[in-house]
Structure formats: structure tokens, C-alpha cells
Amino acid sequence: MASSDVTLLGAPLSPFTNRVQMVLNLKSVHYEFLEESFPFLIKSELLLKSNPVHKKVPVLIHGGKPVNESLVIVQYIIDVWTGGPGNLPLDPYDRAMARFWAAYLDAEWWPLLRGLHNAEGKEAEATALGKFMEGIMLLEDAFAKCGKGKDYFGGDTIGYLDVILGGFLGWLRATEKMTNLKILNASKTPGLFGWAHRFGSNAAVKDVIPETEKVVELAKTFAAIARAQ
């Protein structure tokens, strides 16, 4: 199927947008990027029309038809453009595990990272950091099991789960800067440490990962909003 007539509504600092950009680049799909404000103070008419349920990015519009929610969008892309990296594993069990960990990242791990940013006081910060590091160690174990000793979660090449986690790399780097901690390091998380370097250096994804300073500023804004509520 031709890769023309593809539009992505998104925000450059959104990890959920970033993962969609990454898989599109990995599959050499040409697309038009329409930037939405982030945080979403102003929403375009196209966004409201294309995603009337959640009214948020990312939204992929292909052939005039919108696809919403980043996990759904990534799977749609790998179904339509089957060639190139970023696909789900062929083995049914491995596919199930990739989907399981992708769901874990969005439902449980991302809120832990956000909680680390929003914590106030040393005790709350220590508790949030402990929970977040538990999640990191679960991912370290998942990398060993899914990657089976190879370079990526997808094995020898970048796969679906690499893209899903890879979208968070910009925010992970910002978190390291904000906490003054090396969350991924060669001693405690050797698998993820090496993976992050290899994945983040890939030509298709490295320019998608947002600048650390910009993410830090946005994270501070989100934290201030959360504390005010």
C-alpha cells in the first residue's frame, strides 16, 4: 500500500507521539506532521473532529480515516506497512508478551515516572523513586526474556516493544537530569543501559527524541499544575 496521504497530529514533546514518529520513520513512511499545542490548552478543529472521544494526540490520518491511541496506531502501522523494523514477534507467545509489556508501560510505568516528577518532600520523593525503580527492574528482566540475549526487545532488530518503550527515552533522560540519578547504568541495569544507547543512536529515531532541557521544563510545568490541583 502506498505511504502517501498520511498525516500525524501530534506534539514533539509527547512520548506517545514520539513512538508513532519512530515507527513511521523505521518503515520509511512519508507523512505530514501537524503540531498541536502541548499541554493541550488549544485544540485544533481537525483534532477535535478526528478524535472526538479523547480529544488528544497522537492521531494518525491515513486516506482520510483517523486512527487514535498510540498503541493502536503503532499496531495499525505495522499491519499496513509490514516491511522494515518495528513489527511484533512472529511467535504467538512472544507477541502476547510484547503486548503485555506495552500495556504495562502505559498503564503502570508511565504513571510511576509522572509520580516521581510530582512528589513533594524527601519522604515522598524516596517512596516515588523506590516504586519507579521497581518498575525499571521489571523492565530489565523483561528485556532479558523478550530479547533473549540479543540487542533489542525484538531480537536482532528493533521491534514493537522497542518502539513503545523508546518513545519514553526523552522523558527518561529528563528524569535522570531532574533527579541527578543515573537510572539506567551499566551495573544495575546493563541490559536496558545498552539497549537505550543502541536504540537512541538509530538514525530513524535519534532525531525524534526530544531535547532533554525542553522535556525538563515541560515536566516542571506538569508538576506545578498537579500540585495546584
- Burial class of residue 30 (count of CB atoms within 10 Å of its CB; 0-12, 13-18, 19+): exposed
| Dist. CA 94–CA 110, nearest whole Å | 22
pLDDT at 4: 60
* 171-182 tens-digit pLDDT: 999 999 999 999
The C-alpha cell at 108 is 503502570
Q: Which residues lie closer than 8 Å to 66 by C-beta, 6 or more apart?
A: 50, 51, 59, 60
The model's pTM: 0.95
pLDDT at 164: 98
| Dist. CA 102–CA 165, nearest whole Å | 7
- Give the mean model confidence (pLDDT) for residues 51-74: 97
pLDDT at 39: 67
Cα of first residue to Cα of last residue in the chain, in angstroms, is 47
* 20-50 tens-digit pLDDT: 999 999 999 999 999 998 766 789 999 999 9
Determine contact, residues 148/85, Cβ cutoff 8 Å: no
pLDDT at 46: 97
The C-alpha cell at 85 is 523494523
| Dist. CA 1–CA 183, nearest whole Å | 41
pLDDT(1) > 50: no
- Kindly provide the residue ranges of all beta strands, DSSP E only, lying in 152-207, ordered along the sequence: none
Query: Quick one: what percent of the chain has pLDDT higher than 90?
Result: 89
How confident is the prediction for the chain on average, in pLDDT?
94
pLDDT(3) > 60: no
